[in-house]
Amino acid sequence: MAERRFHGIAASGGVAIAPAFLFTDPADGEAPSPAATGRVEEELARLHRALEAARTEIQALYDAARERVGEQEAEIFHVHAMFLDDPTLTKQVEEAIRRGESALAAWRQAVEAQAAMLEALNDPVFSARAVDLRDVGARVAAHLAGKAHALALPSQPSIIVARELTPSQTIMLPHELVRGFCTVQGSKTSHVAILARGLGLPAVVGVDAAVLDAARDAALMIVDGETGEVIVSPTEETLAAYRAREAALARARTQAQASAAAPAITPDGHRVEIGANLGGGGRAEAEQALAFGAEGVGLLRTEFLYMERTAPPDEEEQIAAYAPYLEVMAGRPVIFRTADIGGDKDIPYLNLPAEANPFLGQRGIRLSLARPAMFRTQLRAVLRAGAGKRGVKIMFPMVASVEEVRAAKAHLAAVRQALEAEGLPHAQDVEVGVMIEVPSAAILADALAPEVDFFSIGTNDLSQYTLAADRTHPEVGPMADALHPAVLRLIKQVVEAAHARGVWVGVCGELGGDPLATPVLLGLGVDELSMAAPSIPAVKAAVRAWPLAEAQALAAEVLALASAEEVRARLEGVERKGL
């Protein structure tokens, strides 16, 4: 079979070389739902037994995911459990049973109706929820049909090729035999991508469906999680090149991990601070970040506290959630990003109206300012959690104007005054910063700088807003490339404006954790990089390999290029220092 190449979205880094295993969903080709027995109470009892059996299985999946990939990624299965406890869904099924439907038919119809409704919203976040709901639906349906929810699994090391993988299917695969993933559906933020990154497995999603037929007859496949390329039946020449690259990446990972605890200092003595992006895993997550070499928390996502619940978290609950991060970091910086929530996240108790484009709607600091009581509760909790501790920093997301920063700071000042009046201990000398993720904020960096102590550039959103390309969209997602010269020029502008006023600049988007981009960010003058903890050793190694003057020359060179493709080609053509 001749070599065939496909291109998709690079969802999890690394290179995998192994036989393709074409995954088929056990739900495919399911028999039609049986007719009702005529005994309503018996069908209702069967439904509730199936729901309880599914709850037990999902708890086991959560435990397995937490052990294998960590607390944050395992939260996916808490979402699954909530679907089982959804009173609206259960009521629909029970009413259909009372009308004479079988439990299985009623369950399938209700699940599919709700999933189709989520998909009709035409939003990647809700589309991911539809996948979750169907995953849960198939699990319960299997129990109602009286058969095991079993998967056909590989018996040798393989690359899993599928039209789509649900979270439970992904976590149930024998990870010792999985070398990587290739899926037709999915985005960089889909659950299979999140789990693949947590498992440290290369993954490419959004690949043309023709890859399924190609994989069926393929003896061997290559998945390049760095570039998004999938190669089916590679030639000997291609295979040799990728095996060499795979070996080089493995050596680099081993060497980088061995020196992860050492600081990131260039050969000519310039130091870059390295932090971890965390949120939701508490003490264990913070301890793991330290083990990877984190020098602090460059981004603590606090919205995990607001998700999957029926009321907002109160002050005491938030204090209890924030305190472990500060305790583990023991004086190292911890940047609390205030809740970055809005219409793009499903939070029923906020009663947010449906928005045609939630990424341009009321989210981040906009929502916080519109809900001052909720905002002030969070600010109080952060300050109180930081009482007697050093390193507490607060950052506001989705800032687009100076007025928003001033309004947010006014709330913070009022909270401080209230805590003083109440005699409650709270953090002192707290630095305040803003996320630079909206083009207007980047352009206004010189006006924003006098208002804050630091900037943190969120390259994910800055890229999609600058390039007008939804980064979660399977078709246009690859266009939202943070290495596009337009984005890099905005980063340069932000750094220059900040440094002119004594303000430091970090990068906490995905670009910050990409070793390919490290010399460019170093050359642009970025002071701090924050990323998923497993990426820290490789980025530290890249910093240590690049003299500042060389990095500055490289940055100047790529800024003059015309496209992200040209920038990537130039960076990939540079000797991979440190590898």
Catalytic residues: 191, 508
Contacts 24+ apart (CB under 8 A), 358-364: 358/123, 358/125, 359/461, 359/464, 359/470, 363/398, 364/340, 364/396, 364/397, 364/398, 364/399, 364/435
- Among residues 565, 567, 481, which one has the least CA distance to residue 520? 567
Residue in this structure with the two tokens 């990409």, named with its chain if needed: 514
- Among residues 450, 196, 215, 427, which one has the least CA distance to residue 323? 427
* Residue 308: count of CB within 10 angstroms of its CB: 14
Any residues with CB less than 8 A from the CB of 501 and at least 6 apart, and which?
446, 449, 450
Half-sphere exposure of 340 (CA within 13 A, CB side): 20
Write phi, then psi, for 115 (nearest 5 degrees). -65, -40
**CA distances in angstroms from 565 to 16, 486, 520, 557, 569, listed in the order given:** 23, 12, 15, 14, 6
Strand, coil or helix: 316: helix
Half-sphere exposure of 418 (CA within 13 A, CB side): 13
Which secondary structure element, helix H or strand E, spans residue 274, and what is its range? Answer: strand 271-278
Write phi, then psi, for 28 (nearest 5 degrees). -65, 135
Question: Distance of alpha carbon 306 from its chain centroid, rounded?
Answer: 17
